[in-house]
């Protein structure tokens, strides 16, 4: 005999909360305490509960709507990925855009509950690490594609950031640099899956851990000056400051170049500077950087999501995109011998 679908009453009983709290956790997760929302989602997962609205939507073959979640205001490079998605969609699909403030180790209320709400047919997540429970819920309930990250069981579009760090490290070594400073903005997490951490790992692979000095700075105005303060502080060592500075993204590298000019330093004579991403300003300002295909990644993510929505039981796909080293004036010729 086929069992009857779980009801919201059963969810509320198992989670030990009212029906209204269950509804609030699903539709407005940010208004429910983390611990309470966690109990409710656990009960939903265990019971296999599907809200009535979601069941009706599935019966009607979907809403024709997808969502994309990314830290747009924190990292503007994600806007270029979104541009690629919008161009691929060509107005044929409604795309809901959600800004996620930053990457974090804590569970995102939005992502944790989106598979249950039933207001979209598919989801693209850009650059946000997933906890295991959320990833499993997405895998079972909502066609999902990841961009700039990977998670077992989910389709992803990504680049090899470790290789990117190694590419720029190997080039700097060829120029004669022996020590580098790696500048990163403070993040809420330093997960091993973080692109920033992986880029540093690539530099370490090229130079050795002892020759890569990390400088962590806060975000906001004065990025370049704070990075140079950290670089100049390394002058107190017997070996002197590193001869090259690599920023985890181009915005920081450009800020360093501007701050160096204000201090009367010459780039690359006094300090070689490199970045990551090959943003639009990088070419204009002569910044050496590692580029990646932002718009292409968004377009591919849209295509893969369409395929997953059509065949939700198909195996996940991992699509690795190429990187390229753009060599420009900011790294210059090998440093003069001491």
* pLDDT tens column, 232-276: 988 766 567 899 999 999 999 999 999 999 999 999 999 999 999
Domain with 113, as residue range(s), is 61-159+297-322
Q: What is the pLDDT of residue 1?
A: 37
Residue 330 within a domain: no
Q: Do 232 and 268 sit in the same domain of this protein? A: yes
Res 338 pLDDT > 50:
no
Q: Apex CA 158: angle with CA 152 and CA 159, to 5°? A: 125
Contact predicate 206/146, CB 8 Å: no
* Mean pLDDT score, 287-316: 95
What is the rounded CA–CA span in Å between residue 325 and residue 175?
A: 14
Instruction: Kindly state whether residues 19 and 8 are assigned to the same domain.
Output: yes
Residue 176 lies in a domain: yes
For residues 120 and 227, membership in a common domain is answered with no
Q: Residue 330: count other Cβ atoms within 10 Å of its Cβ.
A: 25
pLDDT tops 50 at residue 162? yes
Global confidence as pTM: 0.81
What confidence tens digit (pLDDT) does each residue in 85-137 have? 999 998 888 999 998 865 544 457 888 888 888 789 999 999 888 888 899 99
Sheet holding 272-277, edge to edge: 212-217, 180-185, 244-247, 272-277, 288-291, 324-326
CATH assignment at residue 138: 3.40.50.2300
Number of domains in the chain: 3
Same domain, 18 and 85: no
The residue among 11, 26, 49 that closes a domain is 49
Q: Are residues 273 and 168 in the same domain?
A: yes
Query: Which residue in 65, 75, 70, 135 sits closest to 100, CA to CA?
Result: 70
Mean pLDDT (the chain, rounded): 87
């Amino acid at each position: 005999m086929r069992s009857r679908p779980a009801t919201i009453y059963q969810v509320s009983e198992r989670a030990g909360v009212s029906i209204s709290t269950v509804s609030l956790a699903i539709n407005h997760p940010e208004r429910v305490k983390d611990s309470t929302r966690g109990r409710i989602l656990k009960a939903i997962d265990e019971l296999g509960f599907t809200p009535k609205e979601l069941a009706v939507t599935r019966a009607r073959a979907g809403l024709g709507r997808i969502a994309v979640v990314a830290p747009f205001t924190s990292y503007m490079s994600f806007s270029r990925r979104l541009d690629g998605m919008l161009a691929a969609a060509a107005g044929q699909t409604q795309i809901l855009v959600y800004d996620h403030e930053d990457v974090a180790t804590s569970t995102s209320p939005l992502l944790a509950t989106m598979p249950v709400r039933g207001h979209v047919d598919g989801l693209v997540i850009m650059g946000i690490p997933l906890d295991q429970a959320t990833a499993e819920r997405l895998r079972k309930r909502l066609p999902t594609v990841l961009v700039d990250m990977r998670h077992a069981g989910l389709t992803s579009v990504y680049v090899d950031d470790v290789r990117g760090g190694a590419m720029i490290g190997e080039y700097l070594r060829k120029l004669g640099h022996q020590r580098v400073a790696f500048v990163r903005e403070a993040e809420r997490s330093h997960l091993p899956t973080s692109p920033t951490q992986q880029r540093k790992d690539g530099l370490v692979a090229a130079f050795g851990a002892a020759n890569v000095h990390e400088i962590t700075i806060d975000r906001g105005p004065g990025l370049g000056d704070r990075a140079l303060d950290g670089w100049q502080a390394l002058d107190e060592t017997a070996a002197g400051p590193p001869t090259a500075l690599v920023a985890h993204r181009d915005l920081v590298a450009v800020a360093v170049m501007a701050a160096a000019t204000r201090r009367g330093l010459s780039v690359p004579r006094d300090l070689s500077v490199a970045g990551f991403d090959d943003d639009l300003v990088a070419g204009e300002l002569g910044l050496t950087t590692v580029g990646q295909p932002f718009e292409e990644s968004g377009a591919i993510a849209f295509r893969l999501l369409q395929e997953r929505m059509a065949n939700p039981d198909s195996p996940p796909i991992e699509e690795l995109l190429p990187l390229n080293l753009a060599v420009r004036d900011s790294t210059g010729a090998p440093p003069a011998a001491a």
